[in-house]
Structure 1
Amino acid sequence: MTNNTKSIELTHQNGITILTPMGDTLSYRDIDVQREGMDINQQLKTAGTQVIIVDMSRSNYFGSLMIGVINSFGQTVKQRNGQMFLCGASDEMQSVLKIMKLESLWPHFPKLADALKVAKAWKADPK
């Protein structure tokens, strides 16, 4: 199942929700990105989603608006004792996440396949 939105693609793979930002928000109006983030958060709440992966591989850099939206997804699932995993962030983006102390909240994996493997294991045995 795929729901293509303007700036973030939402897909499901083996019961795991995958959110893929389609580039930085510079190409989009801020209000549209914020609205889309709120809509996706509502979908996550309604579905009772506990495990998500954010695939950051489609852009080398995300600005503060997109990082804030991504972090809000993690906070939404965390409220349900869930977990968000990140994957595919560029070296530059990993440095930004580290500076913002987000790498300690949301584990990062080099590839989507790596994140899926860990997310499936976490979903089977959440701690």
Structure 2
Amino acid sequence: MADSFNFELVSPERLLLSGSVTAVVIPASEGEMTVMANHAPTMTTIQPGVVTVTFADGKTDRYVVFGGFADILPTGCTLLAESAVHIDEISRDDIAKRIEVARGELEAAPNDEHRAGIERYIAQLGTVQGTILPA
């Protein structure tokens, strides 16, 4: 049986989850990473994606996050999301609206670097949409 650790998922609106878990898969900026008990101290940014939480009883739960960062310590992990919802609360329209807003920001981007960041974000939202809401 894997050791457990404390995990908190927080969005500006609310605390979505706080509890003891055995593993958390997060969409880190450098790719998906699995956090387990006694993980090396790490801080990483989060890209839009799905967070999968595994509890001690083996059950899993999933949340969709839209950016943020994670602070990982050997005894726990806190993910502070720019925005997050339970996977059952997201719809194709929600993601389509986010893509539409980002496209509007793309048109007003002041420089190529900003434009490239927005284009990456739009691509990530498309990936999330295809992953959790297949056609």
Normalising by structure 2, report the TM-score.
0.28
Larger radius of gyration: 2
Normalising by structure 1, report the TM-score.
0.29
Determine which structure has the larger helix proportion and give its number.
1
